[in-house]
Structure 1
Amino acid sequence: MTGLPWFAYRDGALCAEAVPLSRIAEAVGTPAYVYSTAALTDRYESLAKACADMPVLIAYATKANANLALLRHLGSLGAGADVVSGGELQLAMKAGIAPSKIIFAGVGKTREEMMLALKAGNTGIAQFNVESEPELHLLSEVASSLGVRAPVALRINPDVDAKTHKKITTGKAENKFGISYRRALEVYAEAARLPGLKVTGVHVHIGSQLLELAPFEQTFQLIAELVGELRAAGHDIRRVDLGGGLGIRYDDETAPDAADYAALLRRYIAPLNCEIALEPGRYLVGNAGLLLTRVNFVKRAEEKTFLILDAGMNDLVRPAMYEAFHRILPVKAPNSDAALAPVDIVGPVCETGDTFAEARPMPPVKHGEFLAILSAGAYSSSMASMYNARPLAPEVLVRGAEFAIVRRRPSIEDMTALEMPPTWRSEAKG
């Protein structure tokens, strides 16, 4: 069994909801990303229901997966959007998410992106999460030039160890994110003096894929104390943005429960009587998707057996980038008594790092058979590339017994459409 109710074996075949994955593979080819509508709904509603007694905005972290069909579905459930670029801002609005439910985060916002956000929907976005004093001054300048006031929350770096992978921790003092909580009062005072700004919030985000609640609790306590200090200093703090970070199960981890997380909000943040913004990404989409792939070759070397897939690190970079674990299952259900043998599961990209698993116990798999790489809904398609001139994999959304292609596989013409030969103006030499 997969451990995920949306992806399960039925009559000997692995299915997405009620659709056999082999049928999707035959229709759209491989590799392909496959998402479950039911999974998206379940994950959003689990968090929304846990927080139903509090004024919570669930602003989906668009960077996890920016497919428009997924954005539209989450928006229809009530989600806002957390964006980190002008492109993501435009995608969120294209998906029908109101600017009033969009929060702009990120350490490197440009002048053009600020203008875009301030003009969005003629009313501007809900909030800018500002990460540095230079950004604060630039936003003040841009907003003043437009004759508007930008709603601002300062991102506080609490120097809390999130106990997650070093490449996705964001709340330690040595990380590039946020303003030290030790300087918070000073920087808030500076923000209040600047024209064009309306300081109304506090933001914090300590990392991704957190499997323990203790770092959240430590952070929430600190932020609650800070809000009290800021209000005492005269700042009208109306929103506390707690970022994302709730982890999911990839292997045998125990992921945090939404109800337990909400209990921390209820204990530390709800008494502040302000709006609460949450920015989950992976929690909503990570286990709602998989990467469907075909075995190109079974290569038996002197000391190892390799399963060489048609999916590569350009389709799913997490194992190469983060040493991340993903469960990998045959689409055709193996016999219950099938012997497992260790294999290296690799892709076709011309890199040794193009490896999904090493010495992974697997049942016998033949050339041409399909595999499913689970938990590929987050940071897979959104981080994909066309390295080795490999086309981006199509994306498929399943609803019950139906499926639809929500992004097609590009042709070589699509892949080169933005390129053009150089034109030179030669000057005659005397």
Structure 2
Amino acid sequence: MHHFTYREGHLYAEDVALEAIARAVGTPFYCYSAATLRRHFRVFADAFADRDTLVAFSVKSLSNLAVLTLLQKEGAGADVVSGGELSRALTAGIPGDRIVFSGVGKTRTEMAAALEAGIHQFNVESVPELQALNDVAISHDTTAPVALRINPDVAAGSHDKISTGRAEDKFGIPWAQARDVYRLAGNLPGIAVKGVDVHIGSQITDLAPFEKAFNRTAELVRALRADGHEITRLDLGGGLGVPYQHGDDQSAPPHPEVYAEMIKRIAGPLDVQLIFEPGRMITGNAGILVSRIIYHKEGESRRFLILDAAMNDLIRPALYDAWHDVIPVREPGSQGGKVKYDLVGPVCETGDTFARQRDLPELAENDLVAFLTAGAYGAVQASQYNTRPLVLEVLVDGDRYAVIRKRPTTAQILAMESVPDWV
């Protein structure tokens, strides 16, 4: 569900017309719906309201401070994967004891900052990382709360580049080594073993991979307790998908309540705190990218719409062959037919293509279009390739909106660089 709807022929974000925002701030821009963000977080959190649960929002999916602050006020914690994301979470008011630090490449400097912030848990992914964290914790005269991320060797069934739970993936400690590494961790003076962590990937729309991985993980918890470890937390990651092709019931993921029922059945007997790191399912349908058509180009056999947005603004189609529904900001009439268009950006790359042979109403230069389900992994992956300014972001809440990330000028971009005297 989202709050982007047509009213009297015009697309609105909640109670604000997108054309009005475009006139005020220019294009392209991301627009987020506060109502959708709140609703999606509440639906997930409420599904586990009867359990000891930490819902640590995955900051990497949408890291804007305004969004983090909004979710913090709903009770969200944070799952971070860098020192920068840790600073974002803390700046947004998320307390350290509701922050989980994930990722395969934590530096000692990042570890020290996280210990000073008093984070809830480090999700450790390798023996070298475990040893480094032990050293840092000892040097700070403390112990680091740890869950080891175990790779259950379960294929998630999603895109190859966002599947993380197979034996050949870079993430986590191999299943066969888990008990040995826990034995090592239990003997390190700077490490406090707290739980088990597992995360098998992203954009998963089928419960079966989750159930297989979580059943294996529950078995591991029992085995570790038999080995003498006091396992009190079970971190089951994120990964619950969202519908990118609206109206396609077959691609719809399970509702969080159904997901929760499965988890409670498996994890209920373990008497552990449950930790989740949802990102996409909260932010995906809460955001859109609005772009203006610059040119309508006739090719030999194709019609191109050249937009003012590009792959540097929304890289998912180029990176993952990802689908985003595209709709006009002005609602087409019921009598109009459909035309097949390739929607492309102005960047000098063939990969700067958002959609091929997409059926759309006839569109013209200067028309606005909206890419749906762009809230997750959209603005966070934006770049300044071709010296194109970082895309502007807007948050709508009811009948009001605010710019929550400005568009830098070219002068501001160039001011970040310097030329040595000797050049």
TM-score, scaled to structure 2: 0.98
Counterpart CA distance in 2 for 1:104 and 1:357 is 36
Which amino acid in the other structure matches residue 299 of structure 1? K
Counterpart CA distance in 1 for 2:179 and 2:159 is 30
Residue 194 of structure 1 pairs with residue 192 of structure 2: no
Alignment-derived partner of residue 135 in structure 1: 129
SS in 1 for 2:415: coil
Q: What does residue range 319-330 of structure 1 map to in structure 2 within 5 Å?
A: 319-330=317-328
Aligned residue pairs: how many?
419
Counterpart CA distance in 2 for 1:263 and 1:416 is 53
Alignment-derived partner of residue 78 in structure 1: 75
Alignment-derived partner of residue 372 in structure 2: 374
Residue 98 of structure 1 pairs with residue 92 of structure 2: no
Residue 108 of structure 1 pairs with residue 105 of structure 2: yes
Counterpart CA distance in 2 for 1:361 and 1:153 is 48
Residue 88 of structure 1 pairs with residue 85 of structure 2: yes
* CA apart distance, 1:417: 2.8
Counterpart CA distance in 2 for 1:338 and 1:132 is 58
Residue 151 of structure 1 pairs with residue 149 of structure 2: no
Alignment-derived partner of residue 281 in structure 1: 279
SS in 2 for 1:416: helix
RMSD: 0.9
Residue 353 of structure 1 pairs with residue 351 of structure 2: yes
Counterpart CA distance in 2 for 1:413 and 1:72 is 30
TM-score, scaled to structure 1: 0.96
Deviation by residue 1:156-200 (Cα, 9 ceiling, x = unmatched): 000001011000000000000001122111100001111211011
Q: Which residue of the other structure, out of 286, 289, 292, is the alignment partner of 1:291?
A: 289
Q: Runs in 1 of length 4+ with deviation above 2 angstroms?
A: none
Which amino acid in the other structure matches residue 338 of structure 1? G
SS in 2 for 1:23: helix
Counterpart CA distance in 2 for 1:306 and 1:401 is 35
Gaps of 5+ in 2: none
Q: Which residue of the other structure, out of 31, 34, 38, is the alignment partner of 1:41?
A: 38
Q: Quick check: 343-352 or 252-261, which moved more?
A: 252-261
* CA apart distance, 1:77: 0.1
Q: Identity of counterpart residues, as a percentage? A: 53
* CA apart distance, 1:40: 0.2
Q: Which residue of the other structure, out of 396, 399, 415, is the alignment partner of 2:397?
A: 399
Alignment-derived partner of residue 428 in structure 1: none
Deviation by residue 1:330-349 (Cα, 9 ceiling, x = unmatched): 00000112110111000011
* CA apart distance, 1:359: 0.3
SS in 1 for 2:281: helix
Alignment-derived partner of residue 218 in structure 1: 212
Q: Quick check: 179-188 or 310-319, which moved more?
A: 179-188
Counterpart CA distance in 2 for 1:50 and 1:128 is 25
Q: Which residue of the other structure, out of 304, 307, 310, is the alignment partner of 1:309?
A: 307
* CA apart distance, 1:97: 0.2
* CA apart distance, 1:109: 0.5
Q: What does residue range 6-45 of structure 1 map to in structure 2 within 5 Å?
A: 6-45=3-42
* CA apart distance, 1:418: 2.2
Which amino acid in the other structure matches residue 206 of structure 1? I
Which amino acid in the other structure matches residue 148 of structure 1? T
* CA apart distance, 1:412: 1.5
Q: Quick check: 408-417 or 166-175, which moved more?
A: 408-417
Counterpart CA distance in 2 for 1:257 and 1:196 is 40
Residue 177 of structure 1 pairs with residue 175 of structure 2: no
Counterpart CA distance in 1 for 2:257 and 2:333 is 38
Q: Which residue of the other structure, out of 362, 384, 391, is the alignment partner of 2:360?
A: 362
Counterpart CA distance in 1 for 2:262 and 2:139 is 41
Counterpart CA distance in 2 for 1:57 and 1:115 is 23
Which amino acid in the other structure matches residue 38 of structure 1? A
* CA apart distance, 1:368: 0.3
Gaps of 5+ in 1: 426-430
Counterpart CA distance in 2 for 1:405 and 1:270 is 43
Alignment-derived partner of residue 63 in structure 2: 66
Counterpart CA distance in 2 for 1:300 and 1:163 is 38
SS in 1 for 2:203: coil
SS in 2 for 1:350: coil
Counterpart CA distance in 2 for 1:293 and 1:137 is 48
